[in-house]
Structure 1
Amino acid sequence: MAWYPGAKKMELQPESDSQPAIVPTQLILHSVAAPWTKERIFEYWRDGTNLESHFGQSYDGSIAQYIGTQTRADACYLANRRSDGTGAVSIETASDLNHTDPWTDAQVEGLIRLGVWMHQQHGIPLRICRSWTDPGYGYHRLWPEWAQGGTECPGDARVAQFKNVIFPAIVARATGQPQPPVEDDMPTPRDLWAYKGTDVPYDAYAYLLDSNRRIIALSTQVAALSATVGTLADKLGEDVDTAEVVAAVKAAIAAAVVKVDVTVDDLTPGA
């Protein structure tokens, strides 16, 4: 049986010795639907169920291996071991309870490295599985034969990461090609409002930016108006206190600006 040198060996018994051999032809990625460490995943396989995966991964990206990759593990339903002796290698990864969070950067890196090793160690072809028996790489919900009763695992966010980041990087590293750039994932205005859980309409963010631009423009107008008031006061005669007039005008304008600032601040997320 083969053991991945990048993983902590936590051999699961009796399964590691008692379950039949396989010829590994697939690597299938899972989410465990719990924010567990690799050690906690091991404990669950040992004490809580008669199922198991070959690997487990914590949020920090670290990986443990419970069963050698040439021994059957029971996380992939019909792909665990097929009639021809081939089977899938599985890794369960820490996640939220509903398969909704993305893999962390550390998890992504760990999965890429494991994927490269699987290609180098077992000759897993560098393609996404084209059927449930086709050698290659995949994620749990890709084929119904991999999940009894169906599953959302590993969730939409992680499926997108697999397709756009993880699998392309496995191919790039395994073939010595430049790694594809990762797209900018800065949140959009819509994402920001959604994150705050507010029902403020999408246009509110654009309105906020426009309000700030108006404040800047108003400040420029204040300076110009102050200069104009000073000039007018000079022309009214020596009995007029120019500084006092200018100060009074500035104070009135500043009070208006403060009111605008308060209104804009009230609209900002989290205010």
Structure 2
Amino acid sequence: MAWYPAATRMELQPESDAQPAIRPTQFILHSVAAPWTARRMYEYWRDSTNLESHFGLGYAGDLAQYIGTETRADSNYQANRRPDGTGAVSVETASNLQHTDPWTDQQIEQLVRLGVWLHHHHGIPLRVCRSASDPGYGYHRLFRAWSTSGTACPGDARVRQFNDEVFPGIVTGATGQLPPPSEEDPMPTVINETRAGGPTLQPGAYTLIPMAYDPPLLQGPCSYAVTAYATVKGEPGTRVQMRFHDLALATGRLSLDLPIDCGVIGPDGVLNAQVSRNGILATNEQLRVEIQADRTAKVDWRVMRALRWTP
């Protein structure tokens, strides 16, 4: 189990000991639809059978942790714990009864600090989740799979704050680099790299694909929007997956994305696979892409198109 040092520990039992372990890959923000303190949230979950979050945050910035971040909490439906053992860390935040009010300045500060800690402690990547299972940061209504019947939580005001203040604050706090591009940013550099040929893919093994003559697609510091394409030839019906990863040159630490299914090779023996990603790279951090096929296949052509913003 992992406990955030800046939160008051109010451990929920038997959930804290009885619920299974997770590997945290996401941080999901909620509104509790009640103007409660962190202690009142603890008392509610302690005395009821309702679902709980890992953290509770009051209007005044009072933050409590109820379950360790490597133990399942049950407020995110299919994101609580997946078959591969990954799961989401969750925080409930005080709000009005309709969860339509904005977060207070004190709440925003605490959410940013907690988000930074989760990045450093658990390696949650600094991006907004691109799918319900994609590692990163999000808010409860972002994906229907995070709620049993869909939800409007949090309200529009907090979604705007997440996009404009909370998530950019987490990125800045975690890296000291640029927040995501905004309308005030300078024009990006346009990158379009093409190269014929490529590696032979052995069944079930990921293979790095350089898009030009070097393994990295991009190197930081920068923010970016990138799409990588690969033409794959092989036996019809061969399934192909791709995934991005970040490599920190100073430490050698590798942060792998979840695989993205690119489809199967068609009757003509060809598949044009592609994957896209938006994000931020810190100084001396590289973005790379890998490819895998479930049978022997061959990469025949590679293309990268990207927009790159630099400090």
TM-score bucket (shorter structure): 0.5 to 0.7
Partners of 2:128 and 2:179 in 1: CA distance = 17
Alpha-carbon shift at residue 109 of structure 1 (Å): 0.3
Residue identity matched to 1:131: S
Q: Give the number of aligned pairs.
A: 182
What secondary structure, in the 3-state scheme, does the structure 1 residue paired with 2:81 have? coil
Alpha-carbon shift at residue 62 of structure 1 (Å): 1.8
Change (3 A) 1:123 1:102: same
Q: Which runs of 5+ in 1 are unaligned?
A: 181-271
Deviations 1:202-231 (A, max 9, x none): xxxxxxxxxxxxxxxxxxxxxxxxxxxxxx
Partner of 2:164: 164
Partners of 2:155 and 2:95 in 1: CA distance = 10
Aligned-residue Cα RMSD (Å) equals: 1.6
- Residue 117 of structure 1 pairs with residue 117 of structure 2: yes
Alpha-carbon shift at residue 49 of structure 1 (Å): 2.4
What secondary structure, in the 3-state scheme, does the structure 2 residue paired with 1:164 have? helix
Partner of 1:200: none
Larger Rg: 1
TM-score w.r.t. the length of structure 1 is: 0.65
Alpha-carbon shift at residue 17 of structure 1 (Å): 0.2
Partners of 1:165 and 1:105 in 2: CA distance = 10
Partners of 2:159 and 2:100 in 1: CA distance = 10
| Identity across the alignment (%) | 72
What secondary structure, in the 3-state scheme, does the structure 2 residue paired with 1:13 have? coil
Partner of 1:81: 81
Alignment of 1:126-137 (within 5 A): 126-137=126-137
Alpha-carbon shift at residue 2 of structure 1 (Å): 0.3
Deviations 1:79-130 (A, max 9, x none): 0000000000000000000011000000000000000000000000000000
Give the conservation status (yes or no) of the 8 Å contact 1:173–1:179: no
Partner of 2:21: 21
What secondary structure, in the 3-state scheme, does the structure 1 residue paired with 2:141 have? helix
Partners of 1:48 and 1:162 in 2: CA distance = 30
- Residue 93 of structure 1 pairs with residue 97 of structure 2: no
Partners of 1:14 and 1:23 in 2: CA distance = 20
Partners of 1:153 and 1:179 in 2: CA distance = 25
Give the conservation status (yes or no) of the 8 Å contact 1:75–1:90: yes
Alpha-carbon shift at residue 48 of structure 1 (Å): 2.1
Partners of 2:56 and 2:91 in 1: CA distance = 5
Deviations 1:165-220 (A, max 9, x none): 1001100110013679xxxxxxxxxxxxxxxxxxxxxxxxxxxxxxxxxxxxxxxx
Partner of 1:36: 36
Residue identity matched to 2:164: N
Deviations 1:220-253 (A, max 9, x none): xxxxxxxxxxxxxxxxxxxxxxxxxxxxxxxxxx
Residue identity matched to 1:145: A
Give the conservation status (yes or no) of the 8 Å contact 1:12–1:42: yes
What secondary structure, in the 3-state scheme, does the structure 1 residue paired with 2:2 have? coil
Alpha-carbon shift at residue 157 of structure 1 (Å): 0.2
Higher helix share: 1
Higher strand share: 2
Alignment of 1:1-271 (within 5 A): 1-177=1-177
What secondary structure, in the 3-state scheme, does the structure 1 residue paired with 2:24 have? strand
Partners of 1:99 and 1:50 in 2: CA distance = 18
